[in-house]
Structure 1
Amino acid sequence: MFHLLDIIGTMAFAMSGALTAMHKKLDPFGVFIIAFVTAVGGGTLRDIMIGRTPVGWMLDVNYVYVIVVGFILAILFRKKFDSLRTSLFFFDTIGLGVFTLIGLEKGINIGLHPAICIALGTLTACFGGVIRDILCTEIPVIFRKEIYATICIFGGIVFFMLRKLNLDADVLYLTTSLFIISIRLMAVKFKWHLSPLSYK
């Protein structure tokens, strides 16, 4: 289940990056680069921070294949999506839930404190999108009023609460990812957001 979620998250973020790049009218190479950094950017930064080098995608070429497939699917079916904005949101939300779990698990595996594991999960889930938005000259979603990173943090807390119940690992992963995805969907539907700060 964990490996399957990893593959799903990688492809989802790759498609999200590709769709964003196509919206910005980049050429095919530019679209592929944006898809690639969106899919592996957060994980790469996480691995460097915990001293895990070479980073994950360099050790397993299957990640590259998954990103290429996501890139191709995004191009082939870009006109099939009812709404670009809806499609971007859908793929981004899936990636958010899955990549948070991956970051949490990496931290647990090396014995880090739960709070640090949650930070790693948030970083893994969010920073691929941050890199994508910066390269596409957008203010990153994580820095805007929409609830994004906060959901990852809450998801991490739920993960460690459920972990104390000694649930089956697959159930734990699936429940936590569905929690994160559901909360983000509800946040957008009901317009939950953090109020922006200003000098005035």
Structure 2
Amino acid sequence: MSEILDLVGIFVFALSGALMGVRKRLDVVGMAVIAEMTALGGGVVRDLILNVRPTAFQSSGYVLVPVLATAIVFFWHPHVARVMPAILVLDAAGLGLFCAVGTEKALDYGLSPLHAALLGVTTAIGGGMLRDVLAGEIPTLLYDRQLYAVPAMLGSAAMAALYTHDLHGWHATLAAAVLAFGLRIAAMRYNWRAPLARGVKSTE
């Protein structure tokens, strides 16, 4: 079940990467590369830091799912763009899932709650950062004007707190994931923004 959820999250992240490739007028190879990086980058970085073989290299599905997402966007990107609101909801679910699972895995490998939470955030937004860098955009983490990184931070912190109180398993993971998901959805619904430095006016 956890692998299925992982693949769903990877598929949604890959769609966003491939769509970025379309907006940047990349060819199909560029679209596939940016989709793979978006979908797998955070998890690969997490596993390398934990000094374990990346999960993405243990199953062909982790590599093939982004290829499928790229093919869908390549042929039907206008239709995919039209259902972007639904994709953003799934993206928020993937964000919540990945930050919780990433934090829990880091804790299982002996990291402190603080470092595990940081690694959980890396799992959730690392691929998006790679996507933005490859596309020449300001990474979301550095310009969190749509509260994308903040929900991941709070979800990871919640997962670490639950874990330190001996609350493990799917129920704790689900609770942390739902928290991050809910905050991300609320930010999109109510147009919440992270504050700029004092005296700096927003251009939005």
TM range (shorter): 0.7 to 0.9
| Bigger Cα displacement from structure 2, 190-199 vs 129-138 | 190-199
**What is the match of residue 37 of structure 1?**
37
* Structure 2 residue 132 is matched with structure 1 residue 140: no
Report the TM-score when normalising by structure 1.
0.86
Instruction: State the secondary structure of the residue aligned to 1:25.
Output: coil
Q: Partners in 1 of 2:81 and 2:22 — Cα distance?
A: 15
Seq. identity, % = 29
Structure 2: where are the runs of 5+ without partners?
Answer: none
Task: Name the residue aligned to 1:129.
Answer: 128
1:69–1:195 CA distance, 2 compared to 1 (3 A): same
Moved over 6 A (4+): none
Question: Is the 8 Å Cα contact of residues 103 and 122 (structure 1) preserved in structure 2?
Answer: yes
Q: CA distance change for structure 1 residues 115 and 122 in 2, over 3 Å: closer, same or farther?
A: same
Once the two structures are superposed, what CA deviation does each residue of 1:18-62 show, in whole Å capped at 9, x if it has no partner? 111112111111100000000111112222222224x22123222
Q: Which segment is superposed worse, 125-134 or 40-49?
A: 40-49
Q: 1:157 to 1:197 in 2, by over 3 A?
A: same
Gaps of 5+ in 1: none
Distance 2:138 2:62 in 1: 27
Paired residue for 1:59?
A: 58
Letter in 2 for 1:104: T
Shift of residue 132, structure 1, vs aligned partner: 0.3
Alignment of 1:3-152 (within 5 A): 3-53=3-53, 55-81=54-80, 83=82, 86=85, 89-144=88-143, 145-152=145-152
TM-score by length of 2: 0.85
TM-aligned CA deviation for residue 116 of structure 1? 1.1
Asked if structure 2 preserves the Cα contact closer than 8 Å seen for 1:98 and 1:177, the reply is: yes
After TM superposition, the structure 1 stretch with the greater mean CA deviation from structure 2, 146-155 or 117-126, is 146-155
